[in-house]
Every structure is written in structure tokens, then in C-alpha cells.
A and B are shown apart, each in its own frame.
Chain A
Amino acid sequence: MTATLPQPEHDLPRTVKGASCSCSHCGQPVPLGLIVAGQEQQFCCQGCASVYELIHSCGLDAYYRLREQSEAAAQAVPATDGDRLAVFDADKFHELYVRSREDGARLVDLMLEGVHCAACVWLIEKLPRVVPGVLEARLSLRQATVRITWDPANAKLSQIAKALSTLGYSPHPARGSRDTVQLAEQRTMLIRMGVAGALAGNTMLLAFALYTGLFSSMEQQFTQLFRWTSAVLGVIALAWPGRVFFQGAWAALRTRSPHLDVPIALALGVGGVVGLVNVILSRGEIYFDSLTVLVFLLLVGRFIQYRQQRRADESVGLLFSLTPTHCRRVVASEDGSIEQVPAEAVQVNDLLQVHAGELIPADGTVEEGNASVIASLLTGESAPVPIQPGDGVCAGSQLASSTIRLRVSAVGEATRVGRLMELVQRGVADKPQIVALTDRIAGWFVVTVSTIALGVFAAWSLFDLSAAVDHTVALLIIACPCALGLATPLTLAVMIGRSARNDILIKSGAVLDRLAKPGRILMDKTGTMTRGAMRVEQWVGDGSVRPLVVEAERHATHPIALAIVEQYEDEQTVAADDIHAIQVLPNGVKAQTSLGLLYIGSRACMEQSSCMVPGVFLEQADRWAEQACTTVFVSLGARVVAALAVGDAIRSDVRHSIAQLRDWGWQIEMLTGDEQAVAEQVAKAVGLERSALHAGVSPEQKLNAFKERSDGMPLVMVGDGVNDAAALAAADVGIAVSGGAEASMAAADVYLAKPGLTGLVELIARARSCRAVVKQNLALSLTYNAIAISLAAAGLVTPLVAAVLMPLSSATVLALAMKGRRLPTFQQRQYEGPQR
């Protein structure tokens, strides 16, 4: 709403004569100046008024009633999407995102910003009433994605997008969501779990009858009937839903890597075969009840973990949708008019127009316009680089000021970013698989259990061969690490879910395992340790001219000017009389003020305008240059009265976070593409030694840093840029931080969706507590196994004992896994210093 109307004055009262007056659409207070007397509906801004008008005219007032019921905050700010939505009609857009149905209707998935409650679902699904021609709109609340079916003869997609935008839900083509492959995987897992559940339930009913028959005698024919049916159900359970464990075990054996599936498959296999033989020979014990329940519980654990991981993965995928997908192409033939096209449709030799603040969509040469670009995501260098006609620019860098036209020289995979992405792909392929703690234990678990089983078999076969077989099978089944196989995924799922609520998106549970033990963390500088943007570090000299400086710099678009305005935004404003004739120079700003002629700019600017620079300021400028800061001079009446240092500011939490990580035993190093001088200053400020510093590193070298690792310590990469993406992919654990490039988010295992390094500390704290819970579970389930194995070795385990012991152990371990929820939260522990 701020974009459509000027902000209300601050000193206006927010209520009218005691009665509060809130906006009929968004519920925020209505400024006095905008209250219309004698009208029931009041609006805080024109935007809200037009949304209300639209909703009301379509007869959708029930939205407000629903919203009250769901007690959600209102979606106040209508999006200002402007001409961006024109791209929704481009041919290429339709080719990429739109599908056709047989009856001619079209389908598209759009990701919406600002969807949060039941009222949103209701309003969005009433879209057919707002835009005639829309046949159906179905919203998925969790994914914030709407599937729209419309009739192309009656409505254009841009009209639909416009309507959504007006309602306050800014639409984007949904990329990376509703992946059909993953959806199919989730369905398969769900079916497997459901079938296993049904089989387990029925087998248990039969087992109940059999166990009851143990105590009172049952007729032979019924015992046989029940044994045979159990066997049929059990074999189905092992061969259909249980197949995944055998497949997993087989894959693990072939690659000779330990995996928890191996002991599970061993127990399931031996139990199944012997049970079947016993049923056929009408003798001995069967274990199908325990086996089917085992399969079911293990599948439940895995499904829950899968869903939590998918959730994190999806959230990252949906963030991709928010990155711009369109650009402005100058139409070649005619009057130089501009059309909106999807970024994928750009071709070599196209002429593109890029505005300040936008990402450059392709590699190319500047044809028109002087501007500066920030290539920090690409190179790690935080200072903007000036460009002029004839200079080359790379896709993925951001235009900091003014507008340029560029002739495209490379698109897609041929761009520098595209080539970097190839490295990322290779990095992912080279990445060593993380062997989870439980899987490593599973390795010697198999060996130990098999050895004991052989021993028990040998000892018992001295007395009685059939008893030896029975006791050995009982031992193998009861030694199945099911408690562990169930508890570990659940512990991880609980952790991943809790982390996601705290804006830490973990794409794989194995990461938590890897981060529990200290290793080396390599951190990118720009955007990770620093904000990745300019900031005023210091102001020396006369402070009273600050309001004038801010007012003058408001007219410039240079990143330094933006930084100055942002920093001193709260300064008193100056009257229009005090300053006028503001003029932007190539390296500064000039203005007429009541105190004399004002110049703000670099040293060159001062010299050109023959301003006197006192020696103190020159010395100060030299000192700042050593600290890698740019100096901006302020001159009033041909004499410099103040100077500012502008640089890329270090995030406030970095020093504390690094100290905390070091307390936990991590080695921290800095890896940056920026110059040595800049890097050293940052390193000093955050408390890193020079030896932990690697400056001037290219993306390719970053990748090599990971290939050359020798020690077995986990190597963690933290970064945000495209230049980090290959390293993120190759690291044992890649962590992308907020505000980063799409490529780095895709390559990383973890995405910290909040700025700064606090998220990293929190992530590692979680990993540590997760490890503690897993270890507890491990100890418990191994104790259980030791007892159970001793009982089995002594020949005391009957199927009934097994049927009671196994769920008992699972329940205990599950309770512990859930207890992870009640561990002290990170916020309480944060300042306690070193632990353990």
C-alpha cells in the first residue's frame, strides 16, 4: 500500500475520538486524514480500498467473516507487480509452465506469496467468480501453490495473475514443486505402509488366537488353519512392503558399505524362511506376527522421516519460484518497444534492458548506459564495479544503479554461471556418502550377532539339533535392531521438523549426524560473514550537515549513496528551501544549500570541483583505505567538512557465533574471492588468525580445497553465492545462508533461511542434541539386545516372549526419541559457553 499512496504523517492520531477506526480490509488503523465521514467502510490506503471493492463486487464478503474465525492476521499489502505480469502471456511461458487438457482448457501451477490461512483458501478458490473464464482454482496451503484450470478463449493468464496480485497474492510460476517423481515416491511409501499395517494387524489377530491356544488346547485343524494363514500373510508382508529392506541390504552388500538394512534383512529373511519351513512341516515355532509388525513399524518410521525431509526440500524449491524468471527484451524491428519474456526465452544477440536492482539474465556486452554492477554472488567481491558501453557483464550479477541495455553473447549453460553449475553437478557426483552412526554400528552388529548365533547353534546341536535350529532362529529375530531402525528416523524427523520451524531447512537427515562431531568449517566472507552490501562504517567531522547529505544522496542510485541514505534515514529531514538544484555527477553529488555549495563524492570529485581537503581528512582516508573502506568526502562552500568510510559491514552475530563454534571444537577458516586486504580486515574483526584465511580464491579453487582434503574430519562449507555452489556441493555438509543465489541453495544440504550465523550455531547445537538422543537409544537397544540374546541362547525365548519383548523395546526407544522434543531449546543454552 505504501507504493500507491504517500505514507500518513507520523504525528496524526490513530483513533478518532476514543472510537478506534480500523481498515475494513486489513484491520490496521486508518489515518485521520483518510477517514471518510458517514461511511461504514474505512480504508487505510487506496490499495486496501480497491481490494475490498473487488471482493465486495464479486459477492465474496464471506472472506472477512472466515478470516475472523481463523483469527489470522490480514493480508494487508496488495502486491505491486506492475508490468511483470505481462510475461504470463508469453509463448515461452506457456511452453514452460502451462499444460493443455484434452477439452482445450489449460492448467498452470502458480506459487503465491502471502497465503496463510483458511480464509485465503476460500478466497483463492473463489477465483472463478472474480475472473470469468477460470474453471477451477485449487490451493495447496502447505505449498502455497494454486493449480488453476482456465478456458483460454475467455481469459488470458495475465488477467488471472493480475486478479491474484490485486487480491494481495503475488503469483509466480511454480518451479521445483509438485515434482511428479517425488509425488509418486511418496504414494508408493504410503501404500507400502498401509499394506504392511493391514497385514500386521491381521497376523496379530491370528497370533492372538494361537497364543490363547497355547494355554487352553486348540483343535489341531484350527491351529493348522491359523498357522497357514499367518504364513501366507507373513510371506506377503515380507515380499511386498518388506522387500525394501532386502533391496537395501543387497545394495549395501554390493557396495560393501554398512547399513542398518543388513541386520534387519537378516532377521526378516531367517525368520521368514524357518517359519515357512515349520508351517509346512507342522512343527516348531512361527514368528510371523513379530515379523509383520516389525516391517510395519520400520516403514512408519521411514515414512515420517521422509515427509519431514520432503517438507524442507519443498520449502527450498518454492523459494526458487520467487527468483525472477522474466526479463525485458527490446523488440528488434520496430520503434524499440520493450516486451516481457521469460528468462529461458532469451537468445544470443538479443538486446535486453536491465533496470537497477535486477539480476542480469545472460552474459553480454553493454551497449547503452553507464552503471555499476555487483558481482558478489559470482566472484565474492563485495564492492560494485563500474561498467560502461563496451564492457562485458556476467549473468547472475546485479545491476546496482541506473539502466543499461546489453547485447547477449551467451545464454543458459554457455554463461559463466552455467559453467559453474556444471562444476556443481560434478561436485555432487564426487561427494562421499555419509555413513550414519547407526549404519556404522549395524556393520559390527551383523558380525557380532552372526558369531553369537553360530556359537549358540554349535553349542545346542551337541544336545539336540532341532532345538538348536529353533533357538538360533529365535536369537536372530529377537536380535533384530528394530528399535534402532525405528527410533533413529523418528529422532531425525523430530529434529528436522523443529529446525524447519526455526527457519533451518535440512534436506537430509544424515547431515545432523555429520555435524555432531567437530571438524573444519570453511566460510565464505561476502554475504555470509558480512552483509554483502555497503554500509557507513564511520563518520568523521561535522555531523550537522548529515541531513543535507542524506537529502542530496537520495537522488543518486549508486550503492554507496543507497548505503548512506539507509543508514541515516532517521535523521531530521530538511526543508525544501534549504537544499535545491541537486545534481548527480559521475563520482559524486552536487547541490545548492542555504549554507553554500555542497559536494559529496570521492577524492577525484573534490579535486575536479576544486574543493580544499584538509590534511586530517586525507590521513583519515589513507587509514580507511588500509581497512578496505571507501572514503566519501563532504564539502560545503569549497571546503571539506566531513568524511565517511563506507564498506561491507560484518554481521553483528558472527564474532560470537565463531567463538561458540570454536568452543565446541570446530576449526573455522575463511574462504573468499575478495582481495587479501579486505579479507584480512574482516578476519581480524571476527577473531580469525591470518593462517585461517584464504583470499582471492576462484570458484574452481574453492572446489579444489574440498578435493584435497586429507584428514577424516568432516568438512563443512558455509556460503551464499554462485561462486560457492560447487564447493557447497562437494563439501561433506554444504550450508547455504539466507539471501544467497539459487544455485547455492540447490547445491547445499542445509539452507539457513534467516540472516547471520546464529542459525549455523543453532543447527550444530541441534545436531549435538540429536546425537545424544541417538546414542541413548543405541545404548538402550543394545542393552535390550544383550538381554534378549542371552535369553535366546539359553533357549528361553518362545514366540510369545519375542512378541512381548520386541514392541516393549520399541516403545521405550520411541519414548526416548520423542523426548528430543523436551530437550532444552537452543535459546536457553545459547550463552552458556562450552558444553561438556
Chain B
Amino acid sequence: MSILFIVLPLAFVLAGIGVWAFMWAVKSGQYDDMDTPPYRAMFDDD
């Protein structure tokens, strides 16, 4: 059961990476415009 002592911190490291990725996404402006990108995804590249 003492595996918990390793797994728990590991889980938090993973969660921390998630939070860091979110912060990076926000700071790089990916959440600034919530309306246009969904349309952009529909267009075919040509």
C-alpha cells in the first residue's frame, strides 16, 4: 500500500503539467477569441 507514497506525488506532477499547459495556452492567446476558430476548422485547406 505504500505505493501510494510514490503514486500520489506522481499524480500531482501530471496534474501540474496539465495546469502548466493550460496556463501556456492562455498566455499564448489561444483563449482570446472563442468565436472564430470553430469556423476556421471547417474550411478546407487549399
A residues adjacent to B (C-beta < 8 A): 62, 66, 118, 121-122, 125, 139-143, 183, 186-187, 190-191, 194-195, 198, 202, 219, 221-222, 225, 229
Contacts and interface: CB of A to CB of B under 8 A. Distances in A.
Contact of B1 (A118, A141, A198, A219): A219
Contacts of A143: 33
Interface in B10-46: 12, 15, 18-19, 22-23, 26-27, 29, 31-36, 39-40, 42-44, 46
A183 B11 CA distance: 32
Given A140-B36, A225-B5, A225-B8, A122 B15 contact: no
A118 B42 contact: yes
B33 A222 contact: no
Given A183-B32, A222-B4, 11 more contacts: A62-B46, A118-B39, A139-B36, A140-B35, A141-B39, A187-B27, A195-B19, A198-B19, A221-B2, A222-B1, A229-B8
A141 B27 contact: no
Contact of B18 (A62, A198, A221): A198
Contact of A225 (B4, B23, B44, B46): B4
Nearest 8 pairs of A and B residues by beta carbon:
A118-B39, A141-B36, A142-B35, A141-B35, A140-B33, A194-B22, A121-B39, A198-B19
Nearest to A187: B26
Contact of A198 (B5, B15, B36): B15
B17 to A, nearest CB: 11
Nearest to A117: B39
Contacts of B29: 187
A191 B23 contact: yes
A122 B42 CA distance: 10
A121 B40 contact: yes
Contacts of A62: 44, 46
Nearest to A186: B32
**Chain B: interface residue count, which band?**
20 to 34
Contacts of B26: 187, 190-191, 194
Contacts of B42: 118
B8 A122 contact: no
Contacts of B8: 225, 229
Contact of B15 (A139, A202, A221): A202
- Prevailing SS type, chain A contact patch: helix
A198 B13 CA distance: 12
Contacts of B4: 222, 225
A62 B42 CA distance: 12
Nearest to B36: A141
Contacts of B33: 140-143
Nearest to A178: B32
Interface of B: 1-2, 4-5, 8, 12, 15, 18-19, 22-23, 26-27, 29, 31-36, 39-40, 42-44, 46
A183 B28 CA distance: 12
Nearest to B19: A198
Nearest to B42: A118
A194 B20 CA distance: 10
A66 B15 contact: no
11 contacts: A122-B39, A140-B36, A183-B32, A186-B32, A191-B22, A194-B19, A198-B19, A219-B1, A222-B1, A225-B8, A229-B12
A55 to B, nearest CB: 14
Contacts of A142: 33-36
Contacts of A194: 19, 22-23, 26
B46 to A, nearest CB: 8
A194 B8 CA distance: 21
A125 B15 CA distance: 37
B13 to A, nearest CB: 12
A191 B33 CA distance: 15
A194 B31 CA distance: 12
A218 to B, nearest CB: 10
A398 B33 CA distance: 37
Nearest to B32: A183
B39 to A, nearest CB: 4
Contacts of A122: 39, 43
Contact of B43 (A66, A140, A187, A221): A66
Contact of B31 (A66, A121, A187): A187
A190 B34 CA distance: 13
A662 B33 CA distance: 43
Contacts of B23: 191, 194-195
A118 B40 CA distance: 8
Contacts of A118: 39, 42
Contacts of B27: 187, 191
A139 B23 CA distance: 24
Nearest to A118: B39
A85 B4 CA distance: 68
A414 to B, nearest CB: 38
A191 B27 CA distance: 9
Nearest to A202: B15
Nearest to B43: A122
Contacts of A183: 32
Contacts of A186: 32
A143 B35 CA distance: 9
Nearest to B23: A191
Given A118-B42, A219-B1, A190 B31 contact: yes
A141 B39 CA distance: 9
Contacts of A202: 12, 15
Nearest to B33: A140
Contact of A121 (B5, B36, B44): B36
Contacts of B46: 62
Contacts of A141: 33, 35-36, 39
Contacts of B2: 221
In this complex, the member of B4, B18, B29 whose beta carbon has the largest number of chain A beta carbons within 10 angstroms is B4
Contacts of B43: 66, 122
A190 B23 CA distance: 9
Contacts of B15: 198, 202
Contacts of A225: 4-5, 8
A187 B26 CA distance: 6
A221 B36 CA distance: 51
A700 to B, nearest CB: 42
**Which of B5, B22, B39, B46 is most buried by chain A, counting CB atoms within 10 A of its CB?**
B39
A34 to B, nearest CB: 32
Contacts of B19: 194-195, 198
A125 B35 CA distance: 15
A202 B13 CA distance: 12
A225 B7 CA distance: 12
A24 B42 CA distance: 23
Nearest to A201: B15
A72 to B, nearest CB: 11
A62 B39 CA distance: 14
A221 B29 CA distance: 44
Contacts of A121: 36, 39-40
A823 to B, nearest CB: 27
Nearest to A307: B34
Contacts of A195: 19, 23
Nearest to A60: B46
A635 B4 CA distance: 102
